[in-house]
């Protein structure tokens, strides 16, 4: 964990190209292949991923990314998790409650099984080296490229800010620094992050071309998409805290029961799993299935003519049972804020040491080591 370079700093072998037209959340063949390579040789990989501290994580986060991270960590992959506190500066409302959000995020990580002994949890703001990487990286991308990023465009379209800050266009390049400072070669993310991954790959490639003198300073990391299908909120729309349709990891069993009781269903009594035509019912079925480690069709069939009431009972029980240990751990850690802060402090130190080593390499490559 203290070396600058993971044993193989190069990109894992690319045999199956990622299908750019993939719009669903299921893993592509390349993701399946990466999962296999990880199992075979976890030490060839270094993972970096992270979240914006915008509030407590919900079940969508858990099944979409969090569970996968813990699995990678447990498989023996050196794992880095960034608390992306500089990225929330694009949203003033969220940035006002940063300390609280960061503590909540770290609590969710710890509760979910991120182990600070094996994973490095750190914050953007604690790593000045990221800012030092940002400037040379910015010189490697054009303004036109920054303006074309579909995820940034989407965020601007949905922003409640009166104007668009420079950070909105440049944070994906700062994100490249997040990923490249530790030479991560695998980045587990959702679909919306793929444009940022492309920025990272472009920056790495151009840096190597310009300064690498025939070698590679940075790997070109690959995205790893989750195989978990998309979990919708209790209203059948994308699960999101701001929509008020989310079940948080930190919710109690009673709160969970109430939220599921109020979940939208439809008028057809017989329960089936058909996400395209019955999104609300199917998402409830999926939630129970994910918690129980079963196939959604099996859950649907079992509920059958029991209707929405029976389905909701099953889902409530499944969620509360599956998350009981996690919630108990979370409550325990919440009593120990010093441990939460210590987790970040240790992670920050570990990340900073690594970042300094990378920065020295960068300075050497650029001829700025005076
Ligand atoms: N942009 C990510 C999000 O909004 C958070 C993030 C910051 C991230 N840095 C990262 C994700 C590096 C993966 C890798 O969720």
> How far is ligand 1, taken at its centre, from the CA of residue 189, in Å?
8
For residues 66 and 110, the answer to whether their CB atoms sit within 8 Å is no
pLDDT at 229: 81
pLDDT at 11: 52
Give the number of C-alpha atoms closer than 13 A to the C-alpha of residue 329, restricted to the C-beta side.
17
pLDDT at 112: 98
CA-nearest residue for atom 9, ligand 1, is 175
Q: How does 38-70 read in b/e, with b if 16+ C-beta sit within 10 Å?
A: beeebebbbbbbbbbbbbbbbbbbbbbbbebbb
Q: 175: Cβ below 6 Å to ligand 1?
A: yes
**Does the structure show a pLDDT above 90 at 273?**
yes
**Does the structure show a pLDDT above 70 at 341?**
yes
Q: Which atom of ligand 1 is nearest to the CA of 190?
A: 15
pLDDT at 250: 97
Q: 193: Cβ below 6 Å to ligand 1?
A: yes
Tokens representing 146?
């920054």
- Mean predicted confidence (pLDDT) in 309-326: 98
Q: Which atom of ligand 1 is nearest to the CA of 48?
A: 14
Q: 73: Cβ below 6 Å to ligand 1?
A: no
Q: 48: Cβ below 6 Å to ligand 1?
A: yes
Tokens representing 320?
């509360």
Q: Report the mean per-residue pLDDT for the chain.
A: 92
Q: 46: Cβ below 6 Å to ligand 1?
A: no
How far is the CA of 26 from the CAs of 14, 31, 75, 160, 228, in angstroms?
19, 9, 21, 31, 6
Distance CA 115, CA 113 (A): 6
- Mean predicted confidence (pLDDT) in 41-45: 97
> How far is ligand 1, taken at its centre, from the CA of residue 209, in Å?
25
Q: 179: Cβ below 6 Å to ligand 1?
A: yes
Q: How does 327-350 read in b/e, with b if 16+ C-beta sit within 10 Å?
A: beebeebbeeeeebeebbeebbeb
Model confidence at 2, in pLDDT bands (50, 70, 90)? very low
Pocket-testing residue among 52, 86, 120, 194, ligand 1, by greatest number of atoms within 8 A of Cβ = 52
Distance CA 64, CA 59 (A): 8
Which CATH architecture best describes the domain 253-333? Orthogonal Bundle (1.10)
pLDDT at 5: 53
Q: Where are the domains of the chain?
A: 29-228+341-366, 253-333
- Mean predicted confidence (pLDDT) in 91-115: 92
Record the pTM.
Answer: 0.92
For residues 211 and 365, the answer to whether their CB atoms sit within 8 Å is yes
The share of the chain scoring above pLDDT 90, in percent, equals: 85
**Does the structure show a pLDDT above 90 at 210?**
yes
Per-residue pLDDT tens over the stretch 135-165: 999 999 999 999 999 999 999 998 888 899 9
Pocket-testing residue among 47, 49, 121, ligand 1, by greatest number of atoms within 8 A of Cβ = 49
3-state secondary structure of 315: helix
- Mean predicted confidence (pLDDT) in 269-291: 96
- Mean predicted confidence (pLDDT) in 293-310: 96
Q: Tokens 């800012």, residue?
A: 131
pLDDT at 6: 56
Domain 29-228+341-366 has CATH 3.30.1370.60: no
CA-nearest residue for atom 13, ligand 1, is 49
Distance CA 310, CA 304 (A): 9
Q: 94: Cβ below 6 Å to ligand 1?
A: no
pLDDT at 274: 96
> How far is ligand 1, taken at its centre, from the CA of residue 39, in Å?
24
> How far is ligand 1, taken at its centre, from the CA of residue 213, in Å?
30
Per-residue pLDDT tens over the stretch 59-88: 999 999 999 999 999 999 999 999 999 999
How far is the CA of 354 from the CAs of 7, 220, 348, 367, in angstroms?
14, 18, 10, 20
> How far is ligand 1, taken at its centre, from the CA of residue 178, in Å?
8
């Amino acid at each position: 964990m203290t070396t600058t370079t993971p044993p193989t700093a190069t990109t894992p072998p690319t045999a199956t190209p990622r299908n750019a037209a993939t719009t669903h959340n299921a893993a592509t063949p390349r993701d399946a292949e990466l999962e296999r390579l990880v199992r075979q040789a976890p030490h060839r990989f270094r993972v970096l991923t992270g979240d914006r501290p915008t509030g407590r994580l919900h079940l969508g986060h858990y099944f979409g990314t969090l569970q996968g991270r813990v699995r990678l960590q447990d498989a023996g992959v050196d794992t880095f998790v960034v608390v992306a506190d500089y990225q929330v500066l694009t949203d003033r409302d969220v940035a006002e409650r940063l300390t609280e959000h960061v503590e909540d995020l770290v609590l969710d990580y710890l509760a979910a099984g991120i182990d600070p002994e094996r994973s490095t949890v750190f914050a953007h703001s604690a790593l000045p080296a990221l800012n030092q990487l940002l400037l040379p990286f910015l010189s490697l991308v054009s303004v036109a490229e920054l303006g074309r990023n579909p995820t940034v465009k989407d965020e601007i379209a949905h922003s409640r800010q009166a104007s668009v800050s420079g950070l909105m266009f440049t944070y994906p390049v700062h994100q490249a620094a997040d990923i490249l400072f530790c030479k991560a070669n695998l980045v587990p993310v959702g679909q919306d992050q793929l444009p940022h991954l492309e920025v990272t790959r472009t920056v790495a490639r151009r840096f190597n071309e310009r300064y690498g003198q025939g070698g590679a300073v940075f790997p070109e990391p690959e995205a790893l998409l989750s195989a978990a299908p998309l979990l919708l909120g209790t209203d059948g729309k994308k699960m999101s805290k701001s929509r008020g349709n989310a079940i948080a990891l930190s919710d109690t069993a009673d709160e969970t029961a109430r939220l599921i009781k109020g979940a939208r269903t439809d008028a057809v009594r017989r329960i089936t799993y058909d996400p395209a035509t019955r999104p609300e019912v199917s998402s409830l079925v999926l939630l129970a299935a994910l918690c129980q480690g079963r196939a959604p069709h099996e859950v649907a069939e079992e509920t059958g003519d029991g209707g929405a009431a029976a389905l909701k009972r099953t889902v409530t029980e499944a969620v509360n049972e599956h998350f009981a240990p996690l919630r108990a751990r979370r409550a325990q850690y919440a009593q120990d804020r010093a441990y939460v802060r210590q987790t970040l402090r240790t992670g920050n130190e570990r990340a900073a040491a690594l970042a300094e080593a990378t920065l020295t390499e960068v300075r050497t490559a650029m001829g700025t080591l005076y």
